């Protein structure tokens, strides 16, 4: 526990000390809100601004969690990961420290958009909703940080990670219902959306943030907050379970990657390594 916390704090410090990255991370959400709130005024949804905003928040949480995981690759190339992994700390703590810090950064990013959202027409009626929204952002952050860490530990260099994560992030955000409602997508893409975990994060988060948790299943379906896949109806609560399992899977997988790391197979980046 002590190790998880220490590693998490260390990652947060490292994030804050990188001024350029910090600046753009804060700027980025404003830009997104501005662009999307002016573009997406469509007829499919009754009140588009809160609906869209909530989608943007959760998509940003997803993207940030994934992007921040790349710092593990930094630690690999500077050699620090060698110091970590030669020590007796549990590999799962190493992974967990990384998840936690990524999730916190992602949730803070989401929170900034939320605050901006209050000025452009988003509102909640209870403090409870706000608390749940925060918790859900951390939850979704954790889930996708696990996914990101798995990609990071298996790509092993920053350039590859960026290409891979770009190739994964793009479809995962755009075919999730976050920016574009499923009713506006062609059938084939909707099918892709069903196997996309971000879809479930979006549905769950929207239901909670827009305070629709009291709705019946048919109403949820009508508002596109539940998904009808063949015979099965995926309610927001089932979505939560799916996300949890998805997150757990990648948590286990990335821990296993740490367990199996054999440094003799890792070619360190020439520019970053210092040999005496």
Partner 1 sequence: MPPIIEVRNFTKKYGSFAAVNDISFTVEEGSIFAFLGPNGAGKSTTINTLCTIFEKTTGTLLIDGKDVSLQKNEVRKAIGVVFQESTLDTKMSVEENLRMHCVFYNVPKGEVEERIRFVLRLVDLSDWRKKSVASLSGGMKRRVEIARGLMHYPKVLFLDEPTTGLDPQTRAHIWEYIVQLQKEKGITIFLTTHYMDEAEICSRVAVIDGGVIVADDSPYALKKQHTMDRAYITTQNPEALESLLAAHKLPYQKKAAYYRVDADDTALLLQVLSAQKDSVTDLEIRKGTLNDVFLEITGKEIRG
Q: Which residues bind partner 1 (CB under 8 A)?
A: 2-3, 6, 10, 13-14, 17-18, 74-75, 78-80, 82-89, 261-264, 268, 273-276
Closer to partner 1 by Cβ: residue 152 or 203: 152
Nearest approach in angstroms of CB 80 to partner 1 is 5
Tokens 């190339």 belong to which residue?
77
- 232: helix, coil or strand? strand
Alpha helices in 186-270 (DSSP H): 187-194, 197-209, 217-222, 236-260
**Token duo for residue 139:** 């939850």
Nearest approach in angstroms of CB 16 to partner 1 is 11
Under 8 Å between Cβ of 64 and 104? no
**Token duo for residue 176:** 């999730």
- 60: helix, coil or strand? helix
Nearest approach in angstroms of CB 81 to partner 1 is 8
Dihedral angle over CA of 200, 154, 78, 10, nearest 10: 30
Tokens 């920053």 belong to which residue?
158
Closer to partner 1 by Cβ: residue 195 or 274: 274
CA distance 108 to 61: 9
Closer to partner 1 by Cβ: residue 82 or 212: 82
CA distance 206 to 200: 10
Closer to partner 1 by Cβ: residue 24 or 80: 80
Length of the chain: 276
Closer to partner 1 by Cβ: residue 87 or 125: 87
Nearest approach in angstroms of CB 2 to partner 1 is 6
Tokens 């994030």 belong to which residue?
15
- 229: helix, coil or strand? strand
Nearest approach in angstroms of CB 149 to partner 1 is 18
Nearest approach in angstroms of CB 26 to partner 1 is 19
Closer to partner 1 by Cβ: residue 244 or 263: 263
């Amino acid at each position: 526990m002590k190790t998880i916390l220490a590693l998490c704090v260390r990652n947060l410090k490292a994030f804050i000390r990188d001024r350029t990255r910090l600046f753009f991370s804060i700027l980025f959400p404003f830009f997104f809100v501005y662009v999307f709130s002016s573009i997406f005024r469509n007829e499919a949804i009754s009140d588009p601004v809160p609906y869209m905003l909530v989608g943007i928040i959760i998509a940003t949480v997803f993207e940030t969690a994934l992007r921040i995981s790349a710092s593990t690759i930094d630690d690999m190339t500077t050699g620090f990961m060698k110091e970590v992994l030669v020590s007796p700390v549990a590999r799962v703590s190493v992974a967990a420290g990384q998840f936690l810090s990524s999730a916190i950064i992602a949730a803070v990013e989401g929170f900034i958009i939320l605050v901006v959202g209050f000025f452009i027409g988003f509102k909640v009626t209870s403090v409870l909703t706000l608390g749940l929204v925060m918790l859900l952002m951390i939850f979704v952050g954790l889930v996708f940080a696990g996914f990101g860490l798995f990609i990071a530990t298996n790509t092993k260099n920053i350039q590859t990670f960026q290409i891979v994560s770009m190739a994964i992030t793009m479809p995962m955000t755009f075919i999730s219902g976050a920016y574009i409602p499923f009713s506006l997508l062609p059938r084939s893409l909707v099918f892709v959306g069903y196997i996309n975990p971000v879809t479930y994060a979006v549905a769950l988060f929207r239901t909670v943030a827009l305070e629709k948790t009291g709705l019946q299943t048919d109403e949820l379906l009508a508002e596109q907050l539940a998904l009808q896949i063949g015979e099965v109806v995926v309610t927001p609560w089932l979505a939560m379970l799916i996300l949890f399992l998805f997150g757990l899977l990648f948590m286990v997988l990335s821990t296993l990657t740490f367990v199996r790391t054999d440094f003799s197979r890792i070619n360190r980046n020439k520019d970053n390594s210092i040999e005496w």
